[in-house]
């Protein structure tokens, strides 16, 4: 690791933790991505999904992903509604 002679020592010290933080984030992202891929590969079997009217077969990972996305959407709507209520003068 070479030091830049044009930078002050304090500037050089500030860059080291930032690099370490970036490397830690990248490592965490790679590990998380590997876990997601492994989870998807393990859950490829077809499952029966019962609807109010009828039923269908689909891969388990698809059912999980759709369920997570619906949950995230409901959460975002609830958070947005709570924020607008807290900002309104009637509250």
What pLDDT, in 10s, does the model give residues 46-66? Answer: 999 998 899 999 999 898 889
Q: Which residues pair with 49 in a beta bridge?
A: 56
**Is 59 in the same domain as 90?**
yes
If one counts every other C-beta atom within 10 angstroms of the C-beta of residue 42, the result is 10
pLDDT recorded at residue 18:
81
**Is 49 in the same domain as 30?**
no
Residue 2 · residue 11 · CB < 8 Å: no
pTM of the model: 0.58
Question: What value does the mean pLDDT take over residues 13-21?
Answer: 76
Which residue segment(s) compose the domain that 72 sits in?
Answer: 45-91
**Is 32 in the same domain as 55?**
no
**Is 27 in the same domain as 67?**
no
Task: Grade residue 5 by pLDDT with cuts at 50, 70 and 90.
Answer: low
**How far, in Å, are 16, 74, 75, 87 from residue 79 at the CA level?**
37, 9, 6, 12
pLDDT recorded at residue 16:
75
- Strand locations in the chain (E): 46-50, 55-59
**Is 7 in the same domain as 19?**
yes
Distance CA 78, CA 80 (A): 5
pLDDT recorded at residue 13:
57
**Is 22 in the same domain as 53?**
no
Count the domains in the chain: 2
């Amino acid at each position: 690791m070479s030091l830049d002679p044009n930078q002050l020592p304090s500037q050089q010290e500030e860059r080291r933790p930032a690099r370490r933080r970036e490397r830690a984030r990248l490592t965490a992202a790679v590990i998380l991505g590997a876990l997601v891929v492994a989870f998807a590969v393990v859950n490829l079997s077809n499952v029966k999904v019962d609807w109010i009217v009828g039923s269908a077969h689909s891969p388990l990972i698809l059912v999980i992903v759709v369920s997570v996305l619906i949950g995230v959407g409901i959460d975002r709507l609830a958070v947005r509604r709570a924020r607008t209520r807290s900002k309104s003068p009637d509250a």
